[in-house]
Amino acid sequence: MDLFYVLLILLVATRAFGEVAERLAQPALVGELTAGVALGAVVASFPGIFPTLSGLGDNEVFVTITDLGMFFLMLFAGLEMQPRKMFERSASSLGVAFGGMVVPLALGVGLGWAFLPDSPLRTAQCLFLGTALAITAVPATVRILTDLNLLDTRIGQTIVSAAVIDDVFSLMLLAWFTGMIGAEEPSGLLELAILSGKVVLFFTVTTLIGLFVFPWGGRFIHHLRVHELEISAMLVAAFAFAVLAEVLGLHFIVGAFIAGLYFGRKTINVQSYERVRNTVSGMTFGFLAPIFFASIGFELNFTSVVEIPGFLALLIACAFLGKIGGAGLMARAFGFSRNDSLVIGVGMSPRGAVELVIAGIVLKAGLLVGDSDIVRNLFSAVVIMSVVTTVLSPIILARVFAARSNHD
């Protein structure tokens, strides 16, 4: 891969489209995704213009750059939020997460049951659809909340903690039902119990380290002399948590988020916190995140629009209804205003990149084989649903907020 050429094209395109989006009163994220879709379309139609850009989604180096983008986005989200406030919101977050998980999961499984043909893989395929709808793309959500200046507010904290909880459970589900494929015996409850044990272990270990080792490390750092050590210390913690998450079967973004969460204003001192935060913010929003969001746009594959338009429309409708009906109603029950509950429901709707990761795993595992048009186009449909929810959510939220400010 022609590294610097690819980075140059993508950075120029995403920032230009981001600027246009902002001029149209849309979040920059919408522009960045559109830049990716546009570049993807240009590359697919005229492969001669940017030969180095074709096949980028399968290129190991490019995937590493986008992984670093996700990593830094989640690290930034963790840094911006304060664990104490997140604990205070834990009851409502858990409620919202529960609603935002169960309703879309049921809708997805129901959709599968109604439309997928009977086959030995049907149960796993239905669970895949359920998981695909239950997911919330935390990196996309973080970006949207940052664009709208909502990240460290009550709404933002609730959305992000609920989204993280939903993703953790969705990833457990994924590990469980992919275990079904090709297994001699169907995966049982024991396997699910082991997965739950790993998740509990992850959060226990990282919380103990975050609460006790981080403050000790912060005091220890004052005795060290090497240059730019604060950034290294933050990254070492985040890399370690990411590795731990992967070892225990979770996505690395959960590790990066938790490491950032426990690295607070007082872990070293306020100046160090500000330096680390500014550096991570610059690298994320000025460099890696736009490229990561463009890469989501790249993956679009329109076969399902042509072959199963009805099912696709239903899937997208369920994606919004599931989160608004599940997470939004739960938020209302926990005392959020009607408007804020709608914001929370829509805010949890983007499926973004985590979905692409999961759809890719399922595709490789050989789950999406069958005679029916729907099964053959399920990958394309889920990818389109993920891009559409990621593009529409910030647009809807910007309108909701414009309406609210006009009321004030």
In angstroms, give the least distance from the CB of 105 to its own copies. 29
In angstroms, give the least distance from the CB of 156 to its own copies. 16
Q: Does 240 bind its own copies (CB under 8 A)?
A: yes
Cβ proximity to its own copies, 213 vs 231, nearer residue = 231
In angstroms, give the least distance from the CB of 367 to its own copies. 25
Q: Does 146 bind its own copies (CB under 8 A)?
A: yes
Cβ proximity to its own copies, 90 vs 279, nearer residue = 279
Among positions 38, 42, 231, 363, the unique one binding its own copies when judged by CB under 8 A:
231
**What's the rounded Cα separation, in Å, for the pair 91 and 242?**
26
Among positions 189, 225, 407, 408, the unique one binding its own copies when judged by CB under 8 A:
225
Q: Report the residue count for the chain.
A: 408
Among positions 24, 55, 64, 117, the unique one binding its own copies when judged by CB under 8 A:
64
Binding mask 182-221 for its own copies (x = CB under 8 A): ----------------------------------------
Q: Contact 64/136 with Cβ under 8 angstroms?
A: no
Site for its own copies in 105-134 (CB under 8 A): none
Among positions 69, 210, 218, 290, the unique one binding its own copies when judged by CB under 8 A:
290
Q: Does 58 bind its own copies (CB under 8 A)?
A: no
Among positions 196, 232, 271, 372, the unique one binding its own copies when judged by CB under 8 A:
232
Q: Does 278 bind its own copies (CB under 8 A)?
A: yes
In angstroms, give the least distance from the CB of 80 to its own copies. 13
Q: Does 273 bind its own copies (CB under 8 A)?
A: no
**What's the rounded Cα separation, in Å, for the pair 284 and 290?**
8
Cβ proximity to its own copies, 295 vs 380, nearer residue = 295
- Nearest of 162, 119, 174 to residue 138 by alpha carbon: 162
Q: Does 80 bind its own copies (CB under 8 A)?
A: no
Among positions 80, 166, 167, 230, the unique one binding its own copies when judged by CB under 8 A:
230
Residues within the interface to its own copies (CB under 8 A):
2-5, 7-8, 11-12, 15, 18-19, 22-23, 28, 60-61, 64-65, 67, 71, 146-147, 224-232, 235-236, 239-240, 242-243, 246, 252, 255, 275-276, 278-279, 281-287, 290
